[in-house]
Chains A and B, each alone.
Chain A
């Protein structure tokens, strides 16, 4: 219960940060990505500011043996830079460039109920499900071949 309350409050803070930063406005994101056009460097400052804060907090927080409410830290362990990482990032970049939305800002913008935002979030969920099913199907086939 405490874990969920903390996550809920931090989700609100995250969304408010995204809104103030301008991340929920696709027009600003596309203006940042349009480096040969009328470039808007705001997003660079958002990333720098968020990353610097997280960098400092991370060093301090991970000196603890455990988080405040959970038994242990759950951190990514994968080390390899593989084809999945690169292909996935290329596809994500195309979608981000086309729409100006990445997952967090799209969810935070959803309550605005702008038709294109709703379509984006529904398609994003469909894309995630498509990945889940295709990935399960591919690994099953790989096992069959062995």
Chain B
């Protein structure tokens, strides 16, 4: 457990929670990233601008990270191109079919005490833990 970073984890979580709460307070929307991004692909719709603006904000925030805190964007090099291509497809398709990801079901759904989100989070956590177990300890 020597990699445990409790302070930055709690602080980062606080900012994530505040940003999600802000989107509810100002825009009346759930901060589910897969839903916001997926909605952008459902052209044409009337609510494209705030969705586009939120995604642009995420990318801009990422630029800020790159500038001030570049070690946060590092990636292990021992994972193949193909792995990331397959993983991306599964994440894109799966989050749309399951109507949410770590933010929408994870943070917002759990906090709203939604039974659907409890079921989704339990399922994707179990599935991800099993995947890592197989990749790291079986293969």
Interface residues of A, Cβ cutoff 8 Å to B: 3-28, 30-31, 33-43, 45-55, 57-58, 61-62, 66-76, 78-81, 84-99, 101-104, 106-112, 114-117, 119-132, 135
Contact = CB atoms under 8 A, between A and B. Distances in A.
B86 A49 contact: no
Nearest to A130: B93
A59 B1 CA distance: 35
Nearest to B3: A40
A17 B41 CA distance: 25
Majority-rule SS of B interface residues = helix
B6 to A, nearest CB: 6
Interface in B1-53: 1-6, 8-31, 33-34, 37-38, 41-42, 49-53
Contacts of B115: 79, 81
B97 A91 contact: yes
B94 A90 contact: yes
Interface in B48-97: 49-66, 69-70, 72-76, 79, 81, 83-97
Contacts, number: 494
Given A25-B74, A132-B41, A36 B86 contact: no
A5 B9 contact: no
A15 B9 contact: no
Given A6-B27, A40-B3, A103 B15 contact: no
B6 A45 contact: yes
Given A41-B1, A88-B95, A14 B132 contact: no
Contacts of B75: 25-27, 109, 112, 114, 116-117
A111 B2 CA distance: 29
Contacts of A84: 97-99
Nearest to A31: B3
Given A37-B136, A103-B101, A43 B58 contact: no
A46 B34 CA distance: 19
Contacts of A40: 1, 3-5
B87 to A, nearest CB: 4
5 contacts: A8-B60, A14-B61, A25-B74, A93-B125, A119-B88
